[in-house]
Each structure stands twice: as structure tokens, then as C-alpha cells.
Amino acid sequence: MVFALLPLVAGCVPPRSTVVEGPIPENVVQVAPKTAIVMPRPRDLARSINAVQHVTAHYGNQTFVFDNRISITPDRVRLVSLDSSGNQAMTITWTSGGVYSEAAAWIPEPLRPEKILADMVILYWPEESVRIALIGGTLHAAPEHRSVVADGQDVIRAAFNPLRAGDPWSGSLHYENVALGYAVDIQSREQR
């Protein structure tokens, strides 16, 4: 099924101090209870990327393995995920017109396309963009670590092991959404 998510509506950014409860605006993705992110624009990454990733996701007692191809330009993010059998698990296209995705029915809720995009933003977008975009949480960042803290607790943690200092797109990382109960290990390689 193909469906539109998160139409990025200019001027629809809730104040930073807002705690997300009740209906969530279309350009906001909830990343933990009472913590969300207002989706920035692809251009806020401030660079173009072509990368391949090997992803192992753990949710409950299930493990999912994907191979991703990611292309990011100032105008578009495109992600294509294949499962370990080579079948398409999900595609995501994010432009100024919104987010369009297709996902296999077996993908669990925490690993749905809108959450994948929010995770990508938390991991890879510049610190200042992420700080501004967070609602109900605070970003703590160092060159090889990021976390989102809400109510004094880590709700999200990421540890980077880059091949080149300051380049999270080449190397490995471990990402854990403590609040939603899933963890992801990613091996990335930027294609230049």
C-alpha cells in the first residue's frame, strides 16, 4: 500500500516546549511517549549523500535484517530497503510535497517508515537542526554519541564508531530507542 505521511506544512511548527499529547500534527513524528520531532527539510542536512547500509533491527524477540540504499539531496530523501531474501521491505521518498512510502505488512510499528525517517534525522542531521526539531526532549551530543533525554531519562541513545572522525555515514553505529523498545545496529558506507 502506498500512503502519504507528514506533509511538511510551512508554519506548522509547535513551540519547543510543547509536550505531544492527543492528536499529533502531520509534520510531527512521535519518537517516545511525550517526545516527538518536527520533521525538518531534507536540505537541512546541508549536504548530499549516497550511502549503502546493512541494518539489523531488534524488536521484542524478533530480529529484522535489511540492506538500505539511501540518496539524499537538498530536495529529496530516498530510501529503499530490501530484506535478507532480496525482497523490497520498504521505500520512502521525502520531498517538499510530503513523505510517500510503501512498507511490507510484516514490519512492526516501531520500524514503520515515518519512524525510520525520524531516526535518520536524529542520527544524521546537524545537531542544531535536531535540537530545534525536538518536542518534549533534549538532545545531548558528542562526536561519537547522541541521546535524547526526556524527564531526566534517556529515551534514545546512539553510539557511533565512524571510519573517519565526524563522519557517521561511514562506519558502524548502535541506536536504541529505550522508550519504544527497539535497537538497531547499522553498518554504513558512503558512496562517493
List, for residues 104-115, the tens digit of each pLDDT value.
888 887 778 888
In angstroms, the CA 124 to CA 84 distance is 25
Instruction: Give, for 141, the enclosing helix (H) or strand (E).
Output: strand 138-142
List, for residues 30-86, the tens digit of each pLDDT value.
999 999 999 999 999 999 999 999 999 999 999 999 999 999 999 999 999 999 889
Among 18-32, 91-105, 139-153, 154-168, the minimum mean pLDDT is found in 18-32
Residue found by looking up cell 539489523 in the block: 56
Cell representation of residue 121: 534525522
